[in-house]
Amino acid sequence: MGDNLHSTDTIVIGAGPGGYVAAIRAAQLGQKVTIVEKENLGGVCLNVGCIPSKALITAGHHYHQAQNLDVFGLSVPKVEVDFSKVQAFKESVVNKLTAGVGMLLKGNKVEIVKGTATFVDANTVKINSVEGEKNIHFKHAIIATGSRPFELPTMKFSNRIIDSTGALNLKGIPKSLLVVGGGVIGVELVGAYANFGVNVTILEGQSDILIGIDNKATSIVKRNLKKKGVDIYTKAFVEGAKETDNGVEVTCEINGEKRIFEADYLLVSVGRKPNTDKIGLTEAGVEIDEKGLIKTDNQCRTSIPHIYAIGDIISGPQLAHKASYEGKVAAEAIAGEKAIVDYTCIPAVVFSEPEIAVVGHSEESAKKAGIDTKVSKFPFAANGRAIALNQIEGFVQLVTRADNDMVIGGQIIGPNASDMIAEITLAIETGLTAEDLALTIHAHPTLGEIVMETAELALGNPIHIVK
């Protein structure tokens, strides 16, 4: 670190999808920007989260698909897995993207500091690095320190009791895997390892997996997981876990009965904790709530007006794209622009099989908001492209206002749901109606046509299903 780093206009703490985007946007708006990262550029998302998990999920999907090609008239010799090469592929994906982030930051003249940042006061951070300590003075700060897996006292992380990072970095394919927690991260990793032939068991304390997502969608995911041999136990209260000579043993209560489960590894996936406890927020005067989340206004400004916070450390869903969005708003607010956050339509995706994607209002949330709605659902089974792909499970569902047909929500379960949700997100963001979607010519044969067909159903004149 050179002497030119003693002061900066804007310091960004954390180089994940919130931090690096905020730094780039701030630099584009004419600020002198310094970004501090204690580990790797790209943060959890690029290094041990969103990106590597999708690489592993893709590899598992291809392996499972290669074993089930009879329906297409194809016969493949025995498919074998070299898991070291799977991991090498995953790492190559990560390395390309993290290198790209470095190039983008440097290309926008953002100064990159490797080290741990702690607030000394409301205008100074102390950097601890291999090169020693140094203070950086700033006019503005954006805190983007992200979150870490929540560790339970009864299941401390170890060689066999692992978090999501550990699950992504296994050296070989285990014979069996126990997963405590049936949320998004747990279900995605369960799907990946089940595709590789691992004997997987989910232990979920609530009444269902993927709580908060449309029941009709989660039932399809559960059915597919069970087809692959996954055992799912709900209302399962895990009392503790211990390592054994060859694996791990979990004690659990289900329906009043004590059960003991054994596996090679235990993945604990019960949520994430905000990284706000060791960064000197008290010294900076920044207020947090009882959950450790930083309190912010609609420009991501904290209780100290020139300090901002974004991503997993503030309220709302812990999503990479939410953090990126907030990073832009914070950078623009610092530059004096009138940007404010608008959370009307943040899409959320589960990379399960099939994928689930939701945005805006569900039927239930619209009712709670006092909105009179119409809910229209069109099946993938009536779409030519889906039939040709042999992936006919699922549906597109639109939630529209009953009085003017404005699109206010959408739920998709099916192949490529993660990509298809963008059209519905845009429709909500721009105030489009079902008629706008229905009048938009969609290429044929594509999965995207299902959105158009659902809109026509909402208007009462569907073509490819009988009303």
**Would you say 49 is a known binding-site residue?**
no
Neighbours of 30 (CB within 10 A): 9
Q: What is the pLDDT of residue 423?
A: 98
In the chain, ranges of CATH 3.30.390.30 domains: 348-458
Q: 5: which DSSP letter?
A: G
Q: What is the CATH number of domain 348-458?
A: 3.30.390.30
Rounded to an integer, what distance in angstroms lies between the CA atom of residue 313 and that of residue 295?
9
- Closest alpha carbon to 222 in 413, 419, 388: 413
Q: Does residue 445 have a cis bond before it (omega within 30 degrees)?
A: yes
**Would you say 204 is a known binding-site residue?**
yes
Residues 380 and 393: beta-carbon distance below 8 Å: yes
3-state DSSP percent of the chain in helix, strand and coil, to 5: 35, 25, 40
**Would you say 187 is a known binding-site residue?**
yes
In the chain, ranges of CATH 3.50.50.60 domains: 3-149+273-334, 161-270
Q: C-alpha angle with apex 92: 90 to 93, nearest 5 degrees?
A: 65
Element at 326 (helix H, strand E): helix 320-334
Rounded to an integer, what distance in angstroms lies between the CA atom of residue 42 and that of residue 24?
13
Rounded to an integer, what distance in angstroms lies between the CA atom of residue 130 and that of residue 1?
10
Residues recognised as catalytic = 444
Mean pLDDT by runs of 10 across the 467 residues of the chain is 69 98 98 97 96 97 94 93 97 97 98 97 96 95 98 96 97 98 97 98 97 94 98 97 95 96 98 97 98 98 98 97 98 98 96 98 96 98 98 98 98 98 98 98 98 98 94
Q: What is the CATH number of domain 3-149+273-334?
A: 3.50.50.60
Rounded to an integer, what distance in angstroms lies between the CA atom of residue 333 and that of residue 155?
42
Rounded to an integer, what distance in angstroms lies between the CA atom of residue 111 and that of residue 216?
48
**Would you say 184 is a known binding-site residue?**
yes
Rounded to an integer, what distance in angstroms lies between the CA atom of residue 243 and that of residue 260?
13
Q: Is 221 helix (H, G, I), strand (E, B) or coil?
A: helix
Rounded to an integer, what distance in angstroms lies between the CA atom of residue 204 and that of residue 180?
6
**Would you say 146 is a known binding-site residue?**
yes
161-270 CATH fold: FAD/NAD(P)-binding domain (3.50.50)
Residue type at 149 in one-letter notation: P
**Would you say 287 is a known binding-site residue?**
no
Q: How far does CA 22 lie from the centroid of its chain? A: 19
**Would you say 145 is a known binding-site residue?**
yes
Which class for 373: exposed (0-12), middle (13-18), buried (19 or more C-beta within 10 A)?
buried
Note if the pTM is more than 0.85: yes
Neighbours of 300 (CB within 10 A): 30
Rounded to an integer, what distance in angstroms lies between the CA atom of residue 110 and that of residue 41?
13
Rounded to an integer, what distance in angstroms lies between the CA atom of residue 316 and that of residue 293?
10
**Would you say 54 is a known binding-site residue?**
yes
**Would you say 182 is a known binding-site residue?**
yes
Rounded to an integer, what distance in angstroms lies between the CA atom of residue 198 and that of residue 190?
9
Strands (DSSP E) found in 244-306: 248-254, 257-263, 265-268, 272-274
